[in-house]
Homo-oligomer: A and B are copies of this chain.
Amino acid sequence: MTEYFAFNAQHAIDYIKQLIKKSEFETFQQDAELTAYEFGDGNLNLVFRISDEQNNSVILKQALPYARCVGESWPLTLDRARIEAEVLVNHGAICSKHTAAVLHYNPELALTVLEDLGHLQILRSAQIKAEQFPLLAEHVAHYLSSTGFYNSDLYLAAQDKKAKVCQFTNPELCQITEDLFFSDPYVIHERNSFPAALADNVNHIRNNTALKLAAAKLKAKFLACPQTLLHGDMHSGSIFVDQQTTKMIDPEFGFFGPVGFDIGSFMGNLLLNYCAQNARIAELAKRRQYQTHLLTCLQDCYSLFEQKWLNLITQHSNDASLANPEFANYYLQQVLQDAIGYCGAELIRRTIGLAHVADIDTIEDEQARLAVQQQTLVVGEQLMVNAPSCAHKDDFFALLISLLN
């Protein structure tokens, strides 16, 4: 047992050297000369890249007992390092193709050594530059449907699943989502953040009774619907990509929650980028082309996600009563409606809540940025309010198209 302390770059090197001596992993030769630098992930943790002279490298990520972006005034459990490592191990065992590999985990030091994905781009940065990834929809659908199904009651024995629900109980990080996602944006709260010029739109949100009901339903389900082991933070900053590759990172918000949450968050981020491009791409034809690509990506991703879930239920469910086709259709209809709702909630909370997205915040023209924010609020609101009337994914896609045109 080592007592916890916060690392610097030299600690990171020494730690990796120890692991090399114990032959715990093969990235580096025994006599490798290592260098390290800290680059942070911008939010909660310390992150170091450790490399040798042949440019072999690993990532060492350490949780701090507070949120790095705020400081010691926001204490945060070190247990999130365990959650993150264990979600990656769980999801990696099911879908290694799209899950960052864990090379080593130390619970006392709250640190994880991960494969270095630095040759890839963060999806958000790439999408801000309007880059396209033809395999993204299929990859995300595959990751979410397989990790979702194999951690659900449709596959796991009830006793195993209940043990996993406790293993992945993540109250502190869930509370961040409970507050920022479902509560703050619908009331006056000091954590909210939006320009004064958006005040009328925000008031409209706060006074929309149907919307507040939708937010409460989504919150209640987030609190008490442990359907599967979620990533818990499926925004475009948690996804590494290139033309061939898609890898999920950072599941420290992982817990057992509603299946619709992750896919809804992901689609919400596609839509945030879609709206932002109205102010980013000046040339109309080019903008239309890119936005059409984004919308197709969203539709393909949801369609594949649903189809893969259905195939998995049909072929691999271990519970005969839940595998019946009528129940599978009912289950997936609920997931669709939840996903639409969570997607809408992501648009709203990223516009007026604490945590924004760079897609919008880096738009320099204030008026153009305001127009984008007004659009994301309207789209988010309409998705949340109309989610329960979408019986089929085609209803959802038709609703989306009507809102975006």
Q: Which residues of A contact B (CB under 8 A)?
A: 153, 158-159, 161-163, 165-166, 169, 171-172, 174-175, 178, 182-183, 186-187, 209-210, 212-213, 215-217, 219-220, 223-227, 320-322, 324, 326-327, 330-331
Known: A224-B225, A226-B224. Is A219-B322 also a contact (CB below 8 A)?
A: yes
Residues of B within 8 A of A182 (CB): 321
A158 & B226 in contact (Cβ 8 Å cutoff): no
Leading 8 A-B pairs by shortest Cβ distance: A216-B327, A159-B171, A213-B326, A166-B166, A162-B171, A153-B223, A216-B321, A183-B321
B220 & A322 in contact (Cβ 8 Å cutoff): yes
A219 & B321 in contact (Cβ 8 Å cutoff): yes
Residues of B within 8 A of A326 (CB): 209-210, 212-213, 216
A215 to B330, CA, bound (A): 12
B165 & A212 in contact (Cβ 8 Å cutoff): no
A324 & B212 in contact (Cβ 8 Å cutoff): yes
- Partner of A158 from the list B166, B174, B209, B331 (CB cut-off 8 Å) is B174
Distance between A113 CB and nearest chain B CB, rounded to angstroms: 29
A175 to B187, CA, bound (A): 42
Known: A171-B159, A326-B212, A327-B213. Is A321-B153 also a contact (CB below 8 A)?
A: no
Distance between A153 CB and nearest chain B CB, rounded to angstroms: 5
Residues of B within 8 A of A174 (CB): 158, 162
If A153-B223, A183-B321, A220-B331 are given as contacts, then 11 extra A-B residue pairs at C-beta distance below 8 Å, sorted by A number, are A162-B171, A163-B171, A166-B169, A187-B321, A209-B326, A216-B321, A216-B330, A219-B321, A220-B327, A224-B225, A224-B226
A321 & B171 in contact (Cβ 8 Å cutoff): no
Distance between A166 CB and nearest chain B CB, rounded to angstroms: 4
B217 & A330 in contact (Cβ 8 Å cutoff): yes
Q: Is the interface of A mostly helix, strand, loop or mixed?
A: helix
A217 & B169 in contact (Cβ 8 Å cutoff): no
Count of identical protomers in the assembly: 2
Distance between A121 CB and nearest chain B CB, rounded to angstroms: 35
A247 to B25, CA, bound (A): 61
Which of A178, A183, A327 has the largest count of B CB atoms less than 10 A from its CB?
A327
- Partner of A169 from the list B162, B186, B225 (CB cut-off 8 Å) is B162
A144 to B224, CA, bound (A): 19
Known: A162-B169, A171-B158, A174-B158. Is A324-B220 also a contact (CB below 8 A)?
A: no
B223 & A158 in contact (Cβ 8 Å cutoff): yes
A6 to B327, CA, bound (A): 44
A209 to B327, CA, bound (A): 10
B327 & A217 in contact (Cβ 8 Å cutoff): yes
Which of A162, A215, A227 has the largest count of B CB atoms less than 10 A from its CB?
A162
Residues of B within 8 A of A220 (CB): 153, 322, 327, 331
Q: Chain B residue with minimal CB distance to A172?
A: B159
B175 & A324 in contact (Cβ 8 Å cutoff): no
Residues of B within 8 A of A186 (CB): 321
Distance between A195 CB and nearest chain B CB, rounded to angstroms: 24
Residues of B within 8 A of A178 (CB): 158
Which of A163, A171, A174, A220 has the largest count of B CB atoms less than 10 A from its CB?
A220
A163 to B183, CA, bound (A): 22
Residues of B within 8 A of A320 (CB): 183, 187
Q: Chain B residue with minimal CB distance to A167?
A: B166
Distance between A219 CB and nearest chain B CB, rounded to angstroms: 6
Residues of B within 8 A of A330 (CB): 213, 216-217
A163 to B327, CA, bound (A): 31
A171 to B165, CA, bound (A): 11
Distance between A77 CB and nearest chain B CB, rounded to angstroms: 10
A220 to B216, CA, bound (A): 21
Distance between A79 CB and nearest chain B CB, rounded to angstroms: 12
